Amino acid sequence: MTTAAQIPGPPGLPLIGSMLDLTRRPLQTYLAARRDYGDVVRFVAGPPGLRAEFFMVFSPEGAHQVLAGEAANFRKDNGFYDELRTSIGNGLLTSQDNDYQRQRRLIQPLFTRRRVDGYVDAIALEADALTERWRAVPGGVVDAADEMSRFALRAVARILFGSDVEAAVEVVHRSFPVLGEYILERGFSPVRIPRAWPTPANRRNAEAQRDLYGICDQIIAERSARAGAVETDDLLALLARARGEDGAGLDPTELRDQVLIFLLAGHETTATSLAFGLHLLARHPEEQRRAQREAEAVLTGRSPTAADLEALPYITQVLKEAMRLYPAAALMGRRSVAETVIGGHVVPAGAQVILAPWVTHRHPDHWADPDRFDPDRFLPGREKERHRYAWFPFGGGPRACIGQHFSMLEAVLAMGVLLRDFDIEAVDHEVALAQGITLRADSPMRIRLTPRG
């Protein structure tokens, strides 16, 4: 049994530890840490007096322990979640304890499989509109990352707001990147200056937050004003009508917090999976043809329905493999409440514990030739053979993503429509990556489209 101080890890530089590696090439640093030091690694970063210590856990067994087996001992109490709460509210992603339990009870019925299947019309409408726009693109070249971000945002906004989608999309598209950069920079900084100080970053963030809150509050207020006169079944209306056992629902601030969380989590994660999935198929013609044959057999001549999800198993495998190689949540952070043992190492109370799907999804003990794109890894029989937490893009345990079925439904059906209608070829074969709130492309991810049929 090793103590915290004995847990192996990179020595880093004398004065700042691993700060430069973690800042300049974080994804490569995590992979190298597992290779060189094992499944539990201690990092130290920052100058004396502001030095941070954290523990990265790379094994599926460790991920299970943190997310499920000892979930109560690992809380969302760290700088990143503090900043996320302050910026986009105390919604289902960021809340804890009684707040979380109450919100989950209220919201869970809105994300049953049957209810989520009812959102397919909005997904199909946006997918069909995207294919029409793509047919008119001069030269047929688009950036997959930007296109999928806009598509996923429009889809989730339509599901949330119904006919009010246009009012929200541009504000959200403009504001979220500003908030995301600000949250990330402050969340991992050893020193955080007060938000009230009039620095350029604070002013940009305040303006973006004001615009985002403003449009959500406006739509919620307009809905409230016409409540009863016009009955709608979009997600905002369902959230507003949700009631707990005590008859209480969400007040306007709580309602806005949930809307903001759904806008963020509901579009960035799906967009990442779709963008990288399309780009992988654009670089692998044989797998693309196989997916296209499936899409043609199921979707030719019509828009998709919820029942088509089960009829598109290979496209589902493609997306799961894309989520393995490029998990939207490359890292998941927690704080330990009490001292515990992970992988034979004592992790102290109050420690920052980081899980890394980016690394676990490439763990050579669980994935043969882990950097190779192979959708058949997710054939049902092969999935059953693996540890449950060898692949966990949606987290796990009591705080597993409530929108997992929604994300898969949207991504599979959208990809089916796009592959039915287009051949795709990679223009940019290598794409630089950046670790933001979600994993993202840091260079163009262009694909060339050729209409089919």
> Whole-model pTM?
0.94
d(CA 236, CA 160): 5
230, pLDDT greater than 60: no
248: pLDDT confidence band, cut at 50, 70 and 90?
confident
Task: Read off the pLDDT of residues 13-30 as tens digits, 9 standing for 90 and up.
Answer: 888 888 888 888 999 999
Q: Which of 125, 186, 202, 115 is nearest to 158 (CA)?
A: 125
Q: Give the residue, 244 or 76, on which the prediction is more confident.
A: 76
What is the reported pLDDT for 314? 98
What is the reported pLDDT for 237? 82
Task: Read off the pLDDT of residues 282-301 as tens digits, 9 standing for 90 and up.
Answer: 999 999 999 999 999 999 98
Q: Give the residue, 446 or 110, on which the prediction is more confident.
A: 446
Average pLDDT (355-361) is 98
160 neighbors 235 (Cβ within 8 angstroms): yes
Task: Read off the pLDDT of residues 366-376 as tens digits, 9 standing for 90 and up.
Answer: 999 999 999 99
- Counting residues of the chain whose pLDDT is more than 90, the rounded percentage is 59
196's tokens? 């009230």
H helices present in 162-197, as ranges: 165-187
CA 434, chain centre distance (Å): 14
- Counting residues of the chain whose pLDDT is more than 70, the rounded percentage is 97
Average pLDDT (235-240) is 84
84 neighbors 183 (Cβ within 8 angstroms): yes
377 neighbors 321 (Cβ within 8 angstroms): yes
301 neighbors 121 (Cβ within 8 angstroms): no
> What b/e sequence results for 155-182 when a residue is b if at least 16 CB atoms lie within 10 Å of its CB, and e otherwise?
bbbbbbbbebbeebbebbbebbbbbbbb
Side chain identity at 412, as an amino acid letter?
A: V
Mean pLDDT, the chain, rounded, equals 91
Going from the C-alpha of 445 to that of each of 116, 292, 393, the distances in angstroms are 30, 21, 22
Using a 10 angstrom Cβ sphere, with 0-12 exposed, 13-18 middle and 19 or more buried, the burial of residue 296 is middle
What is the reported pLDDT for 310? 95
80 neighbors 188 (Cβ within 8 angstroms): yes
265 neighbors 438 (Cβ within 8 angstroms): no
Range in 44-58, 67-81, 243-257 the model is least confident about: 243-257
CA 339, chain centre distance (Å): 29
401 neighbors 394 (Cβ within 8 angstroms): yes
Q: Got the DSSP string for 102-142?
A: HHHHHHGGGGSHHHHHTTHHHHHHHHHHHHHHHHT-GGGEE
Map tokens 């804890």 to a residue: 96
Range in 63-72, 176-185, 383-392, 430-439 the model is least confident about: 176-185
326: pLDDT confidence band, cut at 50, 70 and 90?
very high
C-alpha Rg value of the chain to the nearest Å = 22
Average pLDDT (219-241) is 74
H helices present in 188-251, as ranges: 200-225, 235-241
Residues recorded for the chain: 453
84: pLDDT confidence band, cut at 50, 70 and 90?
confident
What is the reported pLDDT for 228? 57
272, pLDDT greater than 60: yes
444, pLDDT greater than 70: yes
Give 447's strand partners.
142, 426
1, pLDDT greater than 70: no
Residue 265: which residues within 8 A CB-CB, separation 6 or more? 93, 401, 403
What is the reported pLDDT for 380? 93
Task: Read off the pLDDT of residues 378-429 as tens digits, 9 standing for 90 and up.
Answer: 999 999 999 999 999 999 999 999 999 999 999 999 999 999 999 999 999 9
Using a 10 angstrom Cβ sphere, with 0-12 exposed, 13-18 middle and 19 or more buried, the burial of residue 425 is middle
366's tokens? 């669980």
Going from the C-alpha of 102 to that of each of 78, 93, 107, 110, 320, the distances in angstroms are 22, 13, 9, 14, 31
Task: Read off the pLDDT of residues 157-207 as tens digits, 9 standing for 90 and up.
Answer: 888 887 677 878 888 888 888 888 888 888 777 778 889 899 999 999 999
H helices present in 25-164, as ranges: 26-37, 60-64, 79-88, 97-107, 113-117, 120-135, 144-161
